[in-house]
Homo-oligomer: A and B are copies of this chain.
Amino acid sequence: MNKNSSNIMALTPNTSNKRETVCIFGTGDFGRALGHKLIQSGYPVVFGSRSTQTSSLIPKDAEVLSHAEAAQKAAIIIIAIQRQHYNFLTPLAEILRGKVLVDISNNLKINQYPESNAEYLAQLVPGAKVVKAFNTVSAWALQSGTLDASRQVFVCGDDMEAKQMVIDIVRALGLTPLDQGSLLAAQEIENYPLQLFPMWKFPILLSLGLIAFFFFYCLIRDVIYPYVYENKDYSFFIAISITNRICPILALILLALVYLPGVLAAIIQLYRGTKYRRFPDWLDKWMLCRKQLGLVALAFASLHVLYTLAIPIRSFVRWRISSQTVSQALNNKTEPLDTTNAWLSDSYLALGILGFFLFVLLGITSLPSVSNNVNWREFRFVQSKLGYLTLVLCTAHTMVYGGKWFLSPSSYRWYLPNAYMLSLIIPCTVLVIKFVLIFPCLDKPLTRIRQGWERNPQYSE
């Protein structure tokens, strides 16, 4: 039986073992690059063009015909033409009836037109089945074969079979198709290549604001104050000392902001007694950019580590240590070892190192290829358990660091507390609320609510 089926296959080589012809309208960069790639993958390609003379740039295995002739040769027509020239397709409407038109166009601005290019195309040629695809791939990447950037091709369209045909082509070219649903998704797909890290906007703007605030705060305390009262020029503190004060503060605050929405959500759920009402919009958005917040925090933590480890190389530090030692020698005295101080200094460093180490672990597990290889329980364990441990360690690191100065009046210059004290507010708040939420009297109802139980069931429907 198996043998039979294979023989039948063998007898029909001419019909079955050919891929379907693909037609490309337009001989611009992208059209040619796509044509080249399609021919490589075994598709016969025919170009539709205004001038049918073959250019040296067009792949030599491809035919170049007029639009009408080319369209008749294929079931799939890729429209590699800019939107403003789409209306030349109107006279071809009859020939294009029933064909699959693949819209690959991009715009120059987000939401440039009221409707997406693909929907506009569907209106112009109502008899055709329009599929949006390929707009996220660059001509250069297709041509050079080095797909360093994304291999993802978003596909959408109203006709399932047409969409499947395009998806098969995408896969045959070695790209990764992602079905985005109906043609309504085209607007979003067309906006996608124009986006510049949309999820990162909030964390980065927030960091810039905080940097500006803490920079001036530290400038006043550490540079202007000694200049006014002691007439000392510490302006060079800007390069390292102040930066290395801002970085850990931002790292700590942003890390705490990663865990704040979680405890807020728990409070809201406890208060409402149900999980079935939507959170306020700002909380939803906040929760969706937690990963980005955490990674920005990690960036500041890494900078803090680099700046801190570079401290002993700074010529100012070398000068200060050397003059202290010289003055000790001149005064003919040796200080004994202060064990308490050694304990404080060592434990503050150890807490910081462990906290940073866990922080880097969190960062590594948020790499797409790593998080793709862990199951949901493992992911939650790392991001929640290890995450809170990181927050505890980093908060403790800051507390032990500042331990001895908390109550010393000399650390309040112009009534301004040391900057690191401000940085402790949010992390301590988060940790205290989280600690309270762990108590069984709150944890139990919360767990039940999260499993679907409702205190006042009428809310949900």
Contact = CB atoms under 8 A, between A and B. Distances in A.
Contact of A10 (B97, B138, B369): B97
Given A17-B162, A313-B311, A339-B233, A152 B372 contact: yes
Interface stretch (A84-92, A330-338, A405-413): A330-338
Contacts of A138: 376
Contacts of A343: 235-236, 239
A325 B332 CA distance: 12
A321 interface: yes
Interface in A306-321: 306-316, 318-319, 321
Interface stretch (A117-125, A188-196, A204-212, A420-428): A188-196
Contacts of A2: 20-21, 73-75
Contacts of A7: 97-98
Contact of A461 (B55, B179, B344, B371): B55
A117 to B, nearest CB: 17
Contact of A6 (B75, B236, B372): B75
Contact of A150 (B127, B159, B372): B372
Contacts of A56: 460-461
A307 to B, nearest CB: 6
Contact of A17 (B10, B161, B323, B376): B161
A350 to B, nearest CB: 4
A377 B193 contact: yes
A392 interface: no
Interface in A138-166: 138, 141, 144, 146, 148-152, 158-162
Interface of A: 2-3, 5-7, 9-11, 13, 16-21, 28-29, 40-42, 55-57, 72-75, 97-100, 127, 129, 136-138, 141, 144, 146, 148-152, 158-162, 172, 174, 178-179, 181-182, 192-197, 233, 235-236, 239-241, 243, 276, 288, 291, 299, 302-303, 305-316, 318-319, 321-330, 332, 334-335, 337-339, 341-347, 349-350, 353-354, 356-357, 360-361, 366-379, 381, 452, 460-461
Given A13-B159, A57-B461, 10 more contacts: A7-B97, A148-B379, A150-B376, A195-B378, A235-B343, A236-B342, A239-B350, A240-B346, A315-B344, A319-B342
Contact of A5 (B75, B162, B194): B75
B42 A160 contact: yes
A359 to B, nearest CB: 12
Contacts of A334: 323, 326-327
Contacts of A346: 236, 239-241, 314-316
A347 B239 contact: yes
Contacts of A152: 372
Contacts of A73: 2-3
A315 B332 contact: no
A136 B376 contact: yes
Contact of A42 (B182, B197, B370, B376): B182
Contact of A55 (B42, B241, B460): B460
Nearest to A324: B322
Given A9-B161, A179-B172, A368 B357 contact: no
A239 B349 contact: yes
A344 B198 CA distance: 38
A379 B195 CA distance: 11
B196 A378 contact: yes
27 contacts: A2-B21, A3-B72, A5-B20, A10-B97, A16-B161, A41-B181, A42-B179, A57-B276, A137-B376, A146-B288, A150-B375, A151-B372, A174-B178, A174-B179, A239-B349, A240-B350, A302-B357, A303-B357, A307-B353, A309-B309, A315-B341, A315-B344, A316-B337, A316-B346, A326-B328, A326-B334, A369-B370
